[in-house]
């Protein structure tokens, strides 16, 4: 039974979908409001200032394509900021840029959850694909042990996302503190930054919840009432 054709799957993940839709609505609203509140620096300039002040002069900053495609690449030691975040002098821009700079600071200081997350990236990337392959093989070959191994492989994604939550929350907390400490935003800007980053944090919670509920769905199919369909 494939989950996309099984109504029970959507019953399992319904709480995560509701939370995701709510979180995405909050992100869009906070993002738009924060773009209207001025900051002293552009997103790129704020990130550069923070990195320099924190002793990370060797971390580069590049402009990248796509909306909300901002990220820190630990292999290249580069912050990549989307066009609006790179150029805009707004609370939203400096908040998101400072969040990504927070990941660079975590990397520089060997923040333990980030170290563990980076180690777990391959398992999270290939675990779901391996899970699908093993489940199909298990069904075709009649080998239930392959189904169990596939379930464990999908569990790697869940573990990764759980580990990722403190990494993201810590980066946001660093951003809020640093932006206020360095007076890059005023009180109104600090409120806007907090709303943007808190809303983004809920999307990570929703994604983690969806993965966890999907894992429970697979367990239900294999060991519960869906195994004979």
What are the pLDDT digits (tens) for 168-197? Answer: 999 999 999 999 999 999 999 999 999 999
Tell me if 162 is assigned to some domain. yes
What does the pLDDT read at residue 228? 46
pTM: 0.87
Task: Write down the catalytic residue from 62, 100, 145, 181.
Answer: 100
Instruction: Please say whether the beta carbons of 95 and 33 come within 8 A.
Output: no
Tell me if 228 is assigned to some domain. no
What SS3 state is found at 185? coil
Tell me if 229 is assigned to some domain. no
Instruction: Please say whether the beta carbons of 72 and 107 come within 8 A.
Output: yes
CA angle 215/220/222 to nearest 5° reads 95
Q: Which region holds residue 197: left if phi is over 0, alpha if psi is between -120 and 50, else beta?
A: alpha
How many domains is the chain built from?
1
| Catalytic residue check, 181 | no
Edge-first strand listing for the sheet containing 71-73: 60-64, 78-82, 71-73
What are the pLDDT digits (tens) for 123-178? Answer: 777 777 777 777 777 767 777 777 788 888 888 889 899 999 999 999 999 999 99
The range of the structural domain enclosing residue 134 comes to: 3-223
Tell me if 60 is assigned to some domain. yes
CA distances from 180 to 10, 57, 66, 95, 176 (A): 42, 21, 28, 11, 6
Indicate the pLDDT class of residue 227, thresholds 50, 70 and 90.
very low
* CB neighbourhood size of 3 (10 A): 15
Tell me if 96 is assigned to some domain. yes
What are the pLDDT digits (tens) for 69-79? Answer: 999 999 999 99
CB burial class (10 A; 0-12, 13-18, 19+) of residue 24?
middle
Q: Which region holds residue 186: left if phi is over 0, alpha if psi is between -120 and 50, else beta?
A: beta
Rounded CA separation 75/15 (Å): 35
Instruction: Please say whether the beta carbons of 139 and 222 come within 8 A.
Output: no
- Which sign, positive or negative, has the C-alpha torsion 190, 191, 192, 193? positive
Rounded CA separation 11/196 (Å): 30
Tell me if 101 is assigned to some domain. yes
What are the pLDDT digits (tens) for 26-42? Answer: 999 999 999 999 999 99
Report the candidate in 88, 202, 222, 226 with the shortest Cα–Cα distance to residue 154.
222
Tell me if 88 is assigned to some domain. yes
Tell me if 143 is assigned to some domain. yes
């Amino acid at each position: 039974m494939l989950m996309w054709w099984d109504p029970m799957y959507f019953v399992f993940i319904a709480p995560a979908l509701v939370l995701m839709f709510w979180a995405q609505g909050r992100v869009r609203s906070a993002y738009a409001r924060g773009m209207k509140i001025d900051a002293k620096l552009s997103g790129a300039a704020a990130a550069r200032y923070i990195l320099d002040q924190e002793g990370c002069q060797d971390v580069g900053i590049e402009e990248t394509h796509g909306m909300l495609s901002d990220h820190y690449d630990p292999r290249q030691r580069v912050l990549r900021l989307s066009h609006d975040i790179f150029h805009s002098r707004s609370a939203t821009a400096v908040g998101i840029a400072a969040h990504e700079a927070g990941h660079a600071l975590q990397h520089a200081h060997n923040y333990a959850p980030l170290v563990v997350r980076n180690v777990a990236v391959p398992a999270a990337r290939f675990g779901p694909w391996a899970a699908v392959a093993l489940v199909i093989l298990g069904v075709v070959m009649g080998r239930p042990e392959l189904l169990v191994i596939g379930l464990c492989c999908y569990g790697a994604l869940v573990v990764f996302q759980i580990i990722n939550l403190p990494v993201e929350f810590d980066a946001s907390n660093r951003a809020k503190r640093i932006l206020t400490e360095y007076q890059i935003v005023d009180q109104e800007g600090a409120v806007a930054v907090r709303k943007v980053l808190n809303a983004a944090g809920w999307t990570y919670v929703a994604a983690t919840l969806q993965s966890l509920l999907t894992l429970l769905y697979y367990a239900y199919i294999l060991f519960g009432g869906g195994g004979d369909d």
